[in-house]
A and B are shown apart, each in its own frame.
Chain A
Amino acid sequence: MDVVIQIVITGLTLGSMYALASVGLSLIYGTLGMFNMAHGLFMTLGAYVAYSVAVAFGIPLVLGIVVAMAAGALIGIITHLVMVRFMLGTADFGTNVLVATAGLGILIEDLLLKVYGGYPYPQPLAVEGFTRIGRVTVTYQAVIIFAVALILILGVAWLLLKTRFGRAIRATALNREAAMLMGVKADTVFLQVMALAGMLAGVAGLMISTQATLSPQMGGDPLLKAFVICVVAGLGNVWGAGLCAFGLALLEAAIGFYIGVRFGFPAMLILVILVLIWRPQGLFGSEKVVRL
Protein backbone atom coordinates (compact mmCIF):
# COMPACT_ATOMS: atom_id res chain seq x y z
CA MET A 1 0.00 0.00 0.00
CA ASP A 2 2.83 2.39 0.91
CA VAL A 3 4.36 1.72 -2.48
CA VAL A 4 1.15 2.69 -4.24
CA ILE A 5 0.87 5.89 -2.20
CA GLN A 6 4.49 6.72 -2.97
CA ILE A 7 3.97 6.19 -6.69
CA VAL A 8 0.78 8.25 -6.71
CA ILE A 9 2.47 11.13 -4.89
CA THR A 10 5.53 11.10 -7.15
CA GLY A 11 3.26 10.81 -10.16
CA LEU A 12 1.07 13.72 -9.10
CA THR A 13 4.06 15.95 -8.43
CA LEU A 14 5.65 15.11 -11.78
CA GLY A 15 2.28 15.33 -13.50
CA SER A 16 1.66 18.83 -12.11
CA MET A 17 4.89 20.09 -13.60
CA TYR A 18 4.35 18.31 -16.92
CA ALA A 19 0.80 19.61 -17.10
CA LEU A 20 1.89 23.23 -16.61
CA ALA A 21 4.45 22.81 -19.38
CA SER A 22 2.32 20.88 -21.84
CA VAL A 23 -0.89 22.90 -21.45
CA GLY A 24 1.00 26.01 -22.56
CA LEU A 25 2.70 24.16 -25.40
CA SER A 26 -0.59 22.74 -26.54
CA LEU A 27 -2.31 26.11 -26.33
CA ILE A 28 0.32 27.65 -28.61
CA TYR A 29 0.09 24.81 -31.10
CA GLY A 30 -3.68 24.89 -31.09
CA THR A 31 -3.90 28.61 -31.75
CA LEU A 32 -0.84 29.48 -33.80
CA GLY A 33 -0.08 26.08 -35.29
CA MET A 34 3.48 26.41 -34.08
CA PHE A 35 5.75 24.17 -32.12
CA ASN A 36 7.61 26.16 -29.57
CA MET A 37 11.03 24.53 -29.28
CA ALA A 38 12.03 27.39 -26.95
CA HIS A 39 9.35 26.44 -24.42
CA GLY A 40 11.92 24.64 -22.26
CA LEU A 41 13.96 27.81 -22.11
CA PHE A 42 10.86 29.81 -21.16
CA MET A 43 10.69 27.51 -18.15
CA THR A 44 14.39 27.87 -17.36
CA LEU A 45 14.16 31.63 -17.69
CA GLY A 46 11.21 31.79 -15.28
CA ALA A 47 13.15 29.76 -12.74
CA TYR A 48 16.30 31.87 -13.05
CA VAL A 49 14.50 35.22 -12.83
CA ALA A 50 12.61 34.05 -9.74
CA TYR A 51 15.92 32.89 -8.29
CA SER A 52 17.61 36.25 -8.93
CA VAL A 53 14.76 38.23 -7.44
CA ALA A 54 14.59 35.88 -4.45
CA VAL A 55 18.32 36.22 -3.79
CA ALA A 56 18.18 40.00 -4.13
CA PHE A 57 15.02 40.75 -2.16
CA GLY A 58 14.27 37.61 -0.19
CA ILE A 59 10.68 37.35 -1.42
CA PRO A 60 8.27 34.60 -0.33
CA LEU A 61 7.25 31.79 -2.67
CA VAL A 62 3.94 33.40 -3.61
CA LEU A 63 5.71 36.47 -4.96
CA GLY A 64 8.29 34.20 -6.57
CA ILE A 65 5.51 32.55 -8.53
CA VAL A 66 4.28 35.93 -9.69
CA VAL A 67 7.79 36.91 -10.76
CA ALA A 68 8.26 33.66 -12.67
CA MET A 69 4.90 34.17 -14.38
CA ALA A 70 5.83 37.72 -15.35
CA ALA A 71 9.19 36.63 -16.72
CA GLY A 72 7.61 33.82 -18.74
CA ALA A 73 4.88 36.09 -20.08
CA LEU A 74 7.44 38.71 -21.06
CA ILE A 75 9.64 36.30 -23.01
CA GLY A 76 6.52 34.90 -24.69
CA ILE A 77 5.49 38.40 -25.77
CA ILE A 78 8.99 39.27 -26.97
CA THR A 79 9.19 36.04 -28.96
CA HIS A 80 5.94 36.86 -30.66
CA LEU A 81 6.73 40.50 -31.39
CA VAL A 82 10.27 39.99 -32.59
CA MET A 83 9.99 36.70 -34.41
CA VAL A 84 6.75 34.82 -34.80
CA ARG A 85 4.70 37.82 -35.97
CA PHE A 86 6.79 38.10 -39.11
CA MET A 87 6.54 34.42 -39.93
CA LEU A 88 2.81 33.83 -39.56
CA GLY A 89 1.17 32.97 -42.83
CA THR A 90 4.41 32.37 -44.75
CA ALA A 91 5.07 29.18 -46.67
CA ASP A 92 6.28 26.23 -44.57
CA PHE A 93 5.41 28.09 -41.38
CA GLY A 94 5.23 24.89 -39.33
CA THR A 95 8.77 23.73 -39.98
CA ASN A 96 10.36 27.17 -40.25
CA VAL A 97 9.02 28.31 -36.93
CA LEU A 98 10.27 25.10 -35.34
CA VAL A 99 13.76 25.91 -36.59
CA ALA A 100 13.51 29.54 -35.49
CA THR A 101 12.29 28.72 -31.98
CA ALA A 102 14.99 26.07 -31.67
CA GLY A 103 17.46 28.82 -32.55
CA LEU A 104 15.91 31.07 -29.94
CA GLY A 105 16.16 28.26 -27.39
CA ILE A 106 19.86 27.73 -27.93
CA LEU A 107 20.36 31.52 -27.84
CA ILE A 108 18.63 31.95 -24.47
CA GLU A 109 20.42 28.91 -23.07
CA ASP A 110 23.77 30.37 -24.04
CA LEU A 111 22.87 33.77 -22.54
CA LEU A 112 21.84 32.13 -19.27
CA LEU A 113 25.08 30.18 -19.27
CA LYS A 114 27.05 33.40 -19.80
CA VAL A 115 25.18 35.29 -17.05
CA TYR A 116 24.84 32.61 -14.37
CA GLY A 117 27.50 30.06 -15.30
CA GLY A 118 26.95 26.35 -15.71
CA TYR A 119 27.18 25.54 -12.02
CA PRO A 120 23.81 24.28 -10.70
CA TYR A 121 22.27 26.41 -7.95
CA PRO A 122 19.68 25.28 -5.40
CA GLN A 123 16.39 27.18 -5.66
CA PRO A 124 16.02 29.36 -2.53
CA LEU A 125 12.26 29.58 -3.04
CA ALA A 126 11.77 25.92 -2.15
CA VAL A 127 9.72 25.23 0.98
CA GLU A 128 11.19 23.01 3.68
CA GLY A 129 9.42 20.41 5.76
CA PHE A 130 7.29 17.34 5.19
CA THR A 131 4.39 15.38 6.52
CA ARG A 132 3.60 11.67 6.44
CA ILE A 133 0.81 9.66 4.92
CA GLY A 134 1.15 6.24 6.49
CA ARG A 135 4.87 5.59 6.23
CA VAL A 136 5.31 7.70 3.09
CA THR A 137 7.02 11.08 3.32
CA VAL A 138 5.26 13.91 1.52
CA THR A 139 7.21 17.16 1.27
CA TYR A 140 5.27 20.40 1.57
CA GLN A 141 6.94 21.44 -1.66
CA ALA A 142 5.19 18.58 -3.49
CA VAL A 143 1.86 19.65 -2.03
CA ILE A 144 2.48 23.23 -3.11
CA ILE A 145 3.44 22.15 -6.63
CA PHE A 146 0.24 20.17 -6.96
CA ALA A 147 -1.88 23.01 -5.58
CA VAL A 148 -0.27 25.65 -7.77
CA ALA A 149 -0.67 23.52 -10.89
CA LEU A 150 -4.29 22.77 -10.04
CA ILE A 151 -5.13 26.44 -9.42
CA LEU A 152 -3.37 27.65 -12.57
CA ILE A 153 -4.86 24.99 -14.81
CA LEU A 154 -8.34 25.58 -13.45
CA GLY A 155 -7.68 29.29 -13.94
CA VAL A 156 -6.75 28.72 -17.56
CA ALA A 157 -9.79 26.53 -18.03
CA TRP A 158 -11.98 29.29 -16.63
CA LEU A 159 -10.31 31.86 -18.89
CA LEU A 160 -10.80 29.71 -21.97
CA LEU A 161 -14.35 28.64 -21.25
CA LYS A 162 -15.98 31.56 -19.47
CA THR A 163 -14.45 34.80 -20.72
CA ARG A 164 -14.70 36.77 -23.97
CA PHE A 165 -10.95 36.58 -24.18
CA GLY A 166 -11.08 32.78 -23.98
CA ARG A 167 -13.83 32.61 -26.56
CA ALA A 168 -11.65 34.62 -28.94
CA ILE A 169 -8.79 32.18 -28.41
CA ARG A 170 -11.00 29.16 -28.99
CA ALA A 171 -12.54 30.72 -32.06
CA THR A 172 -9.12 31.50 -33.52
CA ALA A 173 -7.91 27.99 -32.79
CA LEU A 174 -10.97 26.48 -34.42
CA ASN A 175 -10.84 28.53 -37.61
CA ARG A 176 -8.56 31.51 -37.93
CA GLU A 177 -10.19 33.03 -41.04
CA ALA A 178 -13.71 32.68 -39.76
CA ALA A 179 -12.75 34.21 -36.41
CA MET A 180 -11.11 37.15 -38.12
CA LEU A 181 -14.19 37.67 -40.27
CA MET A 182 -16.27 37.82 -37.08
CA GLY A 183 -14.10 40.65 -35.81
CA VAL A 184 -11.63 38.74 -33.65
CA LYS A 185 -8.26 40.45 -33.74
CA ALA A 186 -6.10 37.41 -34.44
CA ASP A 187 -2.85 39.27 -33.83
CA THR A 188 -3.93 40.25 -30.32
CA VAL A 189 -5.10 36.72 -29.64
CA PHE A 190 -1.74 35.30 -30.69
CA LEU A 191 0.06 37.74 -28.43
CA GLN A 192 -2.21 36.85 -25.50
CA VAL A 193 -1.71 33.13 -26.08
CA MET A 194 2.06 33.53 -26.17
CA ALA A 195 1.93 35.51 -22.93
CA LEU A 196 -0.38 33.01 -21.25
CA ALA A 197 1.69 30.01 -22.33
CA GLY A 198 4.88 31.77 -21.30
CA MET A 199 3.35 32.45 -17.90
CA LEU A 200 2.53 28.79 -17.37
CA ALA A 201 6.01 27.83 -18.55
CA GLY A 202 7.63 30.28 -16.12
CA VAL A 203 5.78 28.75 -13.19
CA ALA A 204 6.54 25.24 -14.43
CA GLY A 205 10.22 26.17 -14.49
CA LEU A 206 10.12 27.53 -10.95
CA MET A 207 8.39 24.38 -9.71
CA ILE A 208 10.85 22.10 -11.50
CA SER A 209 13.79 23.99 -10.05
CA THR A 210 12.48 23.52 -6.51
CA GLN A 211 12.56 19.76 -7.05
CA ALA A 212 16.05 19.68 -8.54
CA THR A 213 18.52 22.49 -9.12
CA LEU A 214 18.82 25.46 -11.45
CA SER A 215 20.95 24.93 -14.53
CA PRO A 216 20.75 26.31 -18.06
CA GLN A 217 19.88 22.83 -19.35
CA MET A 218 17.09 22.14 -16.84
CA GLY A 219 14.31 22.87 -19.35
CA GLY A 220 15.39 20.22 -21.86
CA ASP A 221 14.03 17.14 -20.15
CA PRO A 222 10.60 18.58 -19.17
CA LEU A 223 10.23 20.04 -22.67
CA LEU A 224 10.83 16.64 -24.20
CA LYS A 225 8.19 15.10 -21.98
CA ALA A 226 5.77 17.94 -22.65
CA PHE A 227 6.22 17.31 -26.38
CA VAL A 228 5.50 13.65 -26.00
CA ILE A 229 2.46 14.44 -23.86
CA CYS A 230 1.11 16.89 -26.43
CA VAL A 231 1.63 14.41 -29.25
CA VAL A 232 -0.09 11.55 -27.45
CA ALA A 233 -2.97 13.79 -26.41
CA GLY A 234 -3.40 15.07 -29.95
CA LEU A 235 -1.63 18.28 -30.90
CA GLY A 236 -3.43 21.40 -29.77
CA ASN A 237 -5.83 19.58 -27.49
CA VAL A 238 -5.41 21.49 -24.24
CA TRP A 239 -7.62 19.30 -22.00
CA GLY A 240 -6.10 16.12 -23.36
CA ALA A 241 -2.63 17.47 -22.67
CA GLY A 242 -3.51 18.13 -19.04
CA LEU A 243 -4.97 14.65 -18.56
CA CYS A 244 -2.16 12.86 -20.38
CA ALA A 245 0.40 14.77 -18.31
CA PHE A 246 -0.91 13.16 -15.15
CA GLY A 247 -1.44 9.76 -16.76
CA LEU A 248 2.05 9.53 -18.21
CA ALA A 249 3.64 10.94 -15.06
CA LEU A 250 1.98 8.20 -12.99
CA LEU A 251 3.23 5.63 -15.48
CA GLU A 252 6.73 7.10 -15.35
CA ALA A 253 6.69 7.03 -11.54
CA ALA A 254 5.53 3.41 -11.49
CA ILE A 255 8.12 2.24 -14.00
CA GLY A 256 10.78 4.29 -12.24
CA PHE A 257 9.94 2.50 -9.03
CA TYR A 258 9.61 -1.07 -10.31
CA ILE A 259 12.16 -1.22 -13.14
CA GLY A 260 14.52 1.72 -12.70
CA VAL A 261 14.41 5.47 -13.14
CA ARG A 262 16.35 5.44 -16.38
CA PHE A 263 13.65 3.39 -18.08
CA GLY A 264 10.81 5.74 -17.14
CA PHE A 265 11.03 7.90 -20.24
CA PRO A 266 11.81 5.11 -22.73
CA ALA A 267 8.78 3.15 -21.52
CA MET A 268 6.66 6.29 -21.84
CA LEU A 269 7.91 6.83 -25.38
CA ILE A 270 7.30 3.25 -26.49
CA LEU A 271 3.76 3.45 -25.15
CA VAL A 272 3.27 6.71 -27.01
CA ILE A 273 4.49 5.21 -30.28
CA LEU A 274 2.14 2.27 -29.82
CA VAL A 275 -0.74 4.67 -29.14
CA LEU A 276 0.11 6.64 -32.26
CA ILE A 277 0.17 3.54 -34.43
CA TRP A 278 -3.31 2.80 -33.19
CA ARG A 279 -4.57 6.41 -33.28
CA PRO A 280 -2.30 8.68 -35.38
CA GLN A 281 -4.32 11.74 -34.41
CA GLY A 282 -3.60 11.21 -30.71
CA LEU A 283 -5.80 9.96 -27.89
CA PHE A 284 -8.05 13.02 -27.71
CA GLY A 285 -7.51 14.41 -31.19
CA SER A 286 -10.28 14.23 -33.71
CA GLU A 287 -9.55 12.99 -37.18
CA LYS A 288 -9.31 15.84 -39.64
CA VAL A 289 -10.76 15.53 -43.10
CA VAL A 290 -8.64 17.62 -45.41
CA ARG A 291 -9.96 18.74 -48.75
CA LEU A 292 -7.21 18.94 -51.34
Chain B
Amino acid sequence: MRYIAVFPTLTLAQKASRLLRNDNIAAEVVKVDSSRTRRGCSWGVAFDEEAIFSVRMIFSNKSIPEREIIKE
Protein backbone atom coordinates (compact mmCIF):
# COMPACT_ATOMS: atom_id res chain seq x y z
CA MET B 1 0.00 0.00 0.00
CA ARG B 2 1.11 3.56 -0.59
CA TYR B 3 0.52 6.82 1.24
CA ILE B 4 0.30 10.28 -0.26
CA ALA B 5 1.64 13.36 1.46
CA VAL B 6 -0.57 16.20 0.22
CA PHE B 7 0.94 19.61 -0.50
CA PRO B 8 -0.63 22.99 -1.23
CA THR B 9 1.31 23.37 -4.50
CA LEU B 10 3.06 21.29 -7.11
CA THR B 11 6.40 22.99 -6.45
CA LEU B 12 6.36 22.00 -2.79
CA ALA B 13 5.44 18.46 -3.77
CA GLN B 14 8.39 18.39 -6.17
CA LYS B 15 10.71 19.69 -3.48
CA ALA B 16 9.48 17.05 -1.05
CA SER B 17 9.82 14.24 -3.56
CA ARG B 18 13.41 15.16 -4.35
CA LEU B 19 14.30 15.27 -0.66
CA LEU B 20 12.88 11.79 -0.21
CA ARG B 21 14.67 10.47 -3.27
CA ASN B 22 17.92 11.93 -1.95
CA ASP B 23 17.34 9.73 1.10
CA ASN B 24 16.76 6.72 -1.16
CA ILE B 25 13.01 6.67 -0.51
CA ALA B 26 11.00 5.90 -3.64
CA ALA B 27 8.75 8.91 -4.11
CA GLU B 28 6.48 9.92 -6.96
CA VAL B 29 4.77 13.27 -7.52
CA VAL B 30 1.07 12.68 -8.15
CA LYS B 31 -2.01 14.77 -8.69
CA VAL B 32 -4.33 14.05 -5.78
CA ASP B 33 -7.85 12.93 -6.58
CA SER B 34 -9.85 16.17 -6.39
CA SER B 35 -12.69 14.42 -4.57
CA ARG B 36 -10.37 13.90 -1.58
CA THR B 37 -9.39 17.53 -1.08
CA ARG B 38 -11.47 20.52 -0.10
CA ARG B 39 -9.45 23.09 -2.05
CA GLY B 40 -9.67 21.65 -5.54
CA CYS B 41 -6.61 20.53 -7.49
CA SER B 42 -3.82 19.40 -5.16
CA TRP B 43 -0.51 17.69 -5.51
CA GLY B 44 1.15 15.05 -3.47
CA VAL B 45 4.04 12.69 -3.08
CA ALA B 46 3.26 8.98 -3.07
CA PHE B 47 5.53 6.60 -1.12
CA ASP B 48 5.39 3.08 0.26
CA GLU B 49 3.82 2.63 3.68
CA GLU B 50 6.98 1.23 5.27
CA ALA B 51 8.68 4.58 4.72
CA ILE B 52 6.12 6.63 6.60
CA PHE B 53 8.20 7.23 9.74
CA SER B 54 11.25 8.25 7.73
CA VAL B 55 9.10 10.51 5.58
CA ARG B 56 7.57 12.27 8.57
CA MET B 57 11.03 12.74 10.08
CA ILE B 58 12.52 14.16 6.87
CA PHE B 59 9.62 16.58 6.41
CA SER B 60 9.88 17.69 10.00
CA ASN B 61 13.65 18.16 9.86
CA LYS B 62 13.47 20.11 6.61
CA SER B 63 10.35 22.13 7.55
CA ILE B 64 8.38 20.75 4.62
CA PRO B 65 4.78 21.81 5.10
CA GLU B 66 2.67 18.83 4.04
CA ARG B 67 -1.06 19.37 4.66
CA GLU B 68 -1.87 15.77 5.50
CA ILE B 69 -0.86 12.22 4.75
CA ILE B 70 -3.60 10.06 3.29
CA LYS B 71 -3.85 6.51 2.02
CA GLU B 72 -3.62 6.28 -1.77
Is chain B found bound to chain A in the same assembly?
A: no
